[in-house]
Amino acid sequence: MEILVTIFIVIIFILLMPKILRFFGLHPEYYGKSHSLPGKKALIIATNQAELNKPGKTGGKATGAFLSEITVAYYDFLDASMHVDVASIKGGKIPIEPQSLSYFIKTTADKRFLKDVELRKKIENSRAIADVDFTAYDIIFLAGGWGAAYDLGYSDELGQKISDAYYTDKTIIGGVCHGPLGLIRAKDKDGNLLIAGRRMTAVTDKQIKQLLITATPQHPETELRKAGALFESQSKLIDMFATHAVVDDEKRFVTGQNQNSGHETAHKMMELIEN
């Protein structure tokens, strides 16, 4: 009898775990203003890195983009009647972090993705950034995940295309978690780093240490600070449950702290192109 009671308690605990995690702050719902932006275009960019390995090593645990850091923004943009494209550094398949598909942390957007043939095709056959005209978009959104620490911040081509989009004087640029690493190589017309002196956020060094994944070659907080960004964040006992979104003073860049910040970041971007 005691064994049955124990099994029952364990089952109930497992079933309730997603709600418990959300209670503490994981993947908060968004209850703000909705948007209608027909005719506007968004581009979501993600990683091609599929392995979590130490610099200079090959092999390792499967990783990639954190699914909700694509899906939350994608569906927020799509539901606002925007046209949404998906690209990656090399093009082709965007690997997905396996943990982001776990029962405990799947978002409503992730569940929608699993039934969405069109978005699944876009992620399996993403466009290469070399083939994309960034200046044609109203929003450029950089998705995160551990994989992004291996390629977004090392791509000179991405940096140049971010700069090109910035100088359209219309495109709103940003991303969440590890995604803002894709901004660190963008430069202004004088060759200075474009994000220097701008208020920004991304996943914190504290969260990375708490999750015990410190071997990746770049850490967003560290790299943004090196690039001269005015880094800010919110903190909790466990930073995985914190969230923060920042609009720079020029209102051209919107960055989100981590996997919890997708909705707020996407909606702040849409507010800027709506106004």
Q: Is the pLDDT of residue 117 over 70?
A: yes
pTM: 0.95
Question: pLDDT band for position 6 (50/70/90)?
Answer: low
What is the distance between the alpha carbons of residues 177 and 251, in angstroms, rounded to a whole number? 19
What pLDDT does 15 receive? 66
At 142, the amino acid letter reads L
- Which residues does 73 contact at the CB level (< 8 Å), separation at least 6? 42, 44, 141, 143, 176, 262, 265, 266
- Dump pLDDT digits (tens) for 226-265: 999 999 999 999 999 999 999 999 999 999 999 999 999 9
Query: Which residues is 176 bridged to in the sheet?
Result: 256
Tell me the chain's radius of gyration from C-alpha atoms.
Answer: 18
Question: pLDDT band for position 87 (50/70/90)?
Answer: very high
What pLDDT does 38 receive? 97
Crossing angle between the packed helical segments 68-79 and 262-274, to the nearest 10 degrees? 30
Q: Where are the domains of the chain?
A: 36-274
Torsion of CA 122, 262, 101, 233, to 10 degrees: 130
Q: Is the pLDDT of residue 158 over 70?
A: yes
Question: pLDDT band for position 14 (50/70/90)?
Answer: low
Fold of the domain spanning 36-274: Rossmann fold (3.40.50)
- Dump pLDDT digits (tens) for 159-180: 999 999 999 989 999 999 999 9
Q: What is the mean pLDDT of residues 65-94?
A: 98
What pLDDT does 95 receive? 98
At 216, the amino acid letter reads T
- Dump pLDDT digits (tens) for 133-144: 999 999 999 999
Give the DSSP H/E element, type plus range, for residue 69: helix 68-79
What pLDDT does 59 receive? 80
Q: What is the mean pLDDT of residues 140-153?
A: 97
What is the distance between the alpha carbons of residues 36 and 78, in angstroms, rounded to a whole number? 10
**In terms of DSSP bridges, do strands 83-88 and 127-128 run parallel, antiparallel, or are they unpaired?**
parallel
Q: 239: which DSSP letter?
A: G
What is the distance between the alpha carbons of residues 189 and 241, in angstroms, rounded to a whole number? 39
